[in-house]
Amino acid sequence: MLKRFTLPSPVGALTIIMQDDHICICEFADQSERIKQHLAKHYDCEMINDAKPDPTISQAFQQYFSGDPTALDKLKVAPRGTPFQQDIWRALRDIPAGKTWSYAKLAEKVRSHPRAVGGANGSNPVALIIPCHRVIGKDGSLTGYAGGLPRKKWLLTLETAL
């Protein structure tokens, strides 16, 4: 059984869906279609119950948005995806707060192609905690973010990566 709750944030409410004590989805609430698609693909028959926000997770997000870019690092995640996606998502958690990597650098780390890495990065269902927003173009440009480029810029500024 899955449990769902919403947390406020300075850049829009977050929908968090958990299985046991692991976060399997964390998306901006206005990305409801992405959430529905991920649930349909990976959690088709599972019940979802609305729940009160988990206090540990709420506190971590409050600390993050108050300026501690490492506050989300210890949260447990268990997103569902292909083995390749899982590899990319694990690698994303290696990008230190306050830093960015290019798609090329991420691809080099996982021994893949930047376009394949970009596809897996773009399908990340656990925004912020799996920091796909820290991946930028080789030329330093802000490219691709499901939550929108203004949010990506805001998050990177918060983390002092810009």
Active site (catalytic) residues: 132
Paired sense of beta strands 101-102 and 14-19, if any: unpaired
Percentage helix, strand, coil for the chain under 3-state DSSP, each rounded to 5: 40, 15, 45
Bridge-partner residues for 25, per DSSP?
17
CA distance 96 to 78: 20
What ranges make up the beta strands (E) of 21-147? 22-28, 48-50, 101-102, 135-136
